[in-house]
Amino acid sequence: MMSGKSVSAVTQVHPQSLARRFSTLLYSHSKVRLALLLAAPLTWLVLVYIAALAALLVTALWSVDSFTGDIKTDWTFKNIAQVLTGALYQTVTFRTLGIAVLVTVVDILIALPIAFFMAKIASRRLQGILVIAILMPLWASYLVKAYAWRSVLSNEGILQWLLRPIGMDTPGYGITGTIITLGYLWLPDVILPIYAGLERVPNSLLEASSDLGAKTSRTLRLIVLPMLVPAIVAGSIFSFSLTMGDYITVNIVGGANQMLGNLVYTNVGAANNLPLAAAIALIPVIIMFVYLTAVRRTGALENL
C-alpha cells in the first residue's frame, strides 16, 4: 500500500506536470499561443461589432406596415432605394459629408502648429503641461461644451461682443456654427496623434537639413510632412468619423439644418420606422469603410 506521504507527493507533482506540459505546448506551438491570445477579443469583435453591422443590414431590408406600424420581416430593397434616390437623403448626405471634411481640415490646420510646438520646441515640463491642457476638455461633458458654444455663438454672446467693434458679426446658429463647435470638440483627438507622430521624427534629420542650408519651410515640406502623413490621416479618422455620426451638436447650434444622425434619430423615434433608419445608418458606415480602405496603405491605422 502507498503511504500517505507518497500520495501527497503525487498529488503535488501531478498538477505541476500538467502545467509544465501545457506551458511546453504553448512554447513549441506559436499558432496555438496566438489563437488563445486572440480568442477573447475576436469573439467580442464578432459578437458585438460584426454581428451588429449584420443586424443593421438585415433590418434595412425589412419594412413597416403602413396601417398597423408593425415591422414586416419580408426582405425588400425599398428602403435602400428610397435612401439612394430621395432628394432629402442625398442633400443631407452631401451636407454631412461636407461638414465632416471641413471639420477635419480645420482641425488638422490648427493641430499641426500646436503639435509641432509641443514636440519640437517646448521643454519637457511644458510638454507635460500642454498635454494635460489638451486632455482636460475631454474630461468635460459633451453636452456642456456644446451648450457653451451655443451661448458663445448667440447674438448676445461673447463672440458677438468681441467682433462688433471691428464691424463683424457672430456666425450664429447654422452650418458654420456646427463646424466651429464640432472642430472644437474633436480637436484634441487630432492633436494627439499628430503630436505622437512628430515625436517619432528624429531631431537629427531637422538638424542635418538645417546644416545643409535648407530653410524651415523647405524642411517642413520635404522632410517632416512626408513622415507625418500617417499621423495626420490617423487624426483625420477620428474627426471625420465622429462628425459623420454626430446628431446632437447640429440640434444645438445648427439651426434648422440636419445631418444623417438626425434622420436616423427621427425615424427611430417619432416616425417609428426602424428599417428606414437602418438604411440611412448604412450611409456613414459605407463612407467610413471606403475611407478606411483608402487610407490603409498609408500606415495610418497603425497610429490609432
Other CB atoms within 10 A of residue 31 CB? 7
- The pLDDT mean for the chain works out to 85
In the prediction, which pLDDT does 134 show? 93
CB 190 within 8 A of CB 138: no
As given in the structure block, the three cell numbers for residue 258 are 440636419
CB 272 within 8 A of CB 69: yes
| DSSP-based three-state secondary structure for 68 | coil
pTM (two decimals): 0.82
Average pLDDT over residues 245-258: 93
The residue type at 276? L
Average pLDDT over residues 286-299: 84
In the prediction, which pLDDT does 10 show? 46
Confidence of residue 7 (pLDDT cuts 50, 70, 90): very low
As given in the structure block, the three cell numbers for residue 245 are 455620426
Q: Which of 60-64, 217-221, 278-282 has the lowest mean pLDDT?
A: 217-221
pLDDT digits (tens, 9 = 90+) for 126-165: 999 999 999 998 888 999 999 999 999 998 889 899 888 8
pLDDT digits (tens, 9 = 90+) for 159-218: 899 888 888 889 999 999 999 999 999 999 999 999 999 998 888 877 787 777 777 778
In the prediction, which pLDDT does 2 show? 47
